[in-house]
Amino acid sequence: MHATVLPYRLPLKLPWVAARTTLTERLGALLHLIDADGHEGWGDCAPLPSGGDPQRVIDALAAWACRPAAAEFDALPCEARWAIETAQADLAAQRQAKPLWRHLGGSCNGIAVNAALGPLDAGLPDRYAQAAAQGFRIGKIKVGLASVEEEIARLFALPRTLCLRLDANRSWDESEARRFLFAIRALPIDAVEEPLAQPSLETLAALQAALPYALALDESLPGFSLAALTESRAVRRLVVKPARLGGIRATRRIAQAARDAGIELVLTTVIDSAIGVAATAHLAAALSPDLAHGLGTSAWLADDLAAPPAIVGGVLQLPETAGLGFTPAAARGGG
């Protein structure tokens, strides 16, 4: 097995604003594996600055690539493990002459995705209208960036064309969260992610019981045991980034536990490259094909490593070709 790590730096068309970080580019690296039969497998390692120094993660992946048989897999950063498992699964699917989604257990090559609409700023109405015209059913909006009252007013000023998936990124105390969550009950809400700055299972459970839509956890997940989450059913939905969980096997474990507890599972990326988006989409098609997933972010990139998966009418199309089905057009060095 030959392994190579190819760094990249992808600029964004516009800054990606969240409550605690603003991205203007995506720094990462591709893992390229070639097996004895000449099959080529690809994996994307795209750590976020909020998780520490991205270069440290890329260096760890490069060190693994030098001695893949001897390296300790479980000690690697989670984004590096995701890249390795993705590339290995790509190879395994090619050997079976199956698309990756089928190799992983999926039965459908199209999954719904939400439109990534960004923050509640002056440009949102235009982005909202464009997403509706393109056939999306759900639009994801970043909230918690202005006052609660201002954001409530802006949401009520939008048309009722799309169902809204709102992400507060842990911006509010309990009082602010209650004001916001109860005020928007009349709107078409799919879910609200991470409403509490200091979430507890008890507070979330009380809120969830009083709301007609799903509350969801994303970045708070590492703070709770999976058993406590599923037993308390404090939220109706978990939002997971396979890259942050450490790969395919870790995501499968959470998916099974959530399914057993009747909790929904949504997979998402953070403006990853076409390779990372494709890998997550293949996994989503296998684990949770009936929900809309957070994978419609490629349009935010000014440059990409390959043509991203096509989205038609709000549905991301996966290939029938063997493996991942997405190969970088050319190697790109870090700048």
| Catalytic entry in 13, 98, 140, 241 | 241
Angle, to 10 degrees, between the axis of helix 274-287 and the axis of helix 248-261?
Answer: 40
Handedness of CA 105, 138, 167, 50 (dihedral sign): positive
Pairing of strands 237-240, 214-217: parallel
Cα 124 versus chain centre, distance:
21
Beta strands in 232-331 (DSSP E): 237-240, 264-267, 293-296, 311-312, 315-317
| 142 among known catalytic residues | yes
Q: Which residues pair with 293 in a beta bridge?
A: 113
Are residues 170 and 197 in contact, defined by beta-carbon separation less than 8 angstroms? yes
Residue 131, SS3 per DSSP? helix
CA 327 to CA 241: how far, in whole Å? Answer: 22
Q: CB-side exposure of 166: number of CA atoms within 13 Å?
A: 27
Question: Is-contact 215 192, C-beta < 8 A?
Answer: yes
Catalytic residue among 13, 98, 140, 142: 142
Contacts of residue 251, defined as CB under 8 A and 6 or more positions apart, other chains included, come to: 240, 242, 245, 267, 283, 287
CA dihedral of residues 87, 217, 27, 25 (deg, nearest 10) = 140
β-pairing, 293-296 vs 110-119, is parallel
In whole angstroms, give the CA distance from residue 234 to residue 211. Answer: 12
Tell me, yes or no, if 140 is annotated catalytic.
Answer: no
The residues carrying an active-site annotation are 142, 241
